[in-house]
Amino acid sequence: MPHIVETEDEQLDYGRFYTFPATTHDITRAAGRRTWVLLHGLADHYPCPPCKGIFQTLVSGIHDMVNLHLDKPVHNPRRFEEFLGMVHEVEKTYRSKTVKHQVVH
């Protein structure tokens, strides 16, 4: 069984150091955390100012959807509500365009 060493700095950036042999679960967990750090980092440094907030909301919203699926708490409830509103608006737009373009037999 691997020993996971966590320092305060590691907890801040979600990094982890392992002594091997690491289990598949340990590797998956570390890769997942690093993926979220990457996605949140991309959203925070998005070069298009008008799109940056939307991208941040999408990444946070998807992250919180995964958290809910894993029975974890929502990280930012206000932003998650904003995300759900965005999803609802996109769904309404999609459905209205789909109805207009359906072929009636």
Domain with 94 in it: 46-105
Tokens describing residue 39: 């996605």
CB 83 within 8 A of CB 57: yes
Are 27 and 58 in the same domain? no
Rounded Cα gap, residues 41 and 59, in angstroms: 10
**Model pLDDT for residues 26-35, shown as the tens digit of each residue:** 777 778 888 8
Are 55 and 41 in the same domain? no
Q: Is 51 helix (H, G, I), strand (E, B) or coil?
A: helix
pLDDT of residue 74: 92
pLDDT of residue 11: 44
CB 52 within 8 A of CB 46: yes
Rounded Cα gap, residues 59 and 82, in angstroms: 12
Low-confidence residues in the chain, pLDDT < 70: 1-22, 99-105
- In the Cβ-directed half-sphere of 15, how many Cα atoms lie within 13 Å? 7
Q: In the chain, pLDDT over 70 holds for what percent of residues?
A: 72
Are 51 and 41 in the same domain? no
Are 51 and 40 in the same domain? no
pLDDT of residue 27: 76
Rounded Cα gap, residues 74 and 16, in angstroms: 23
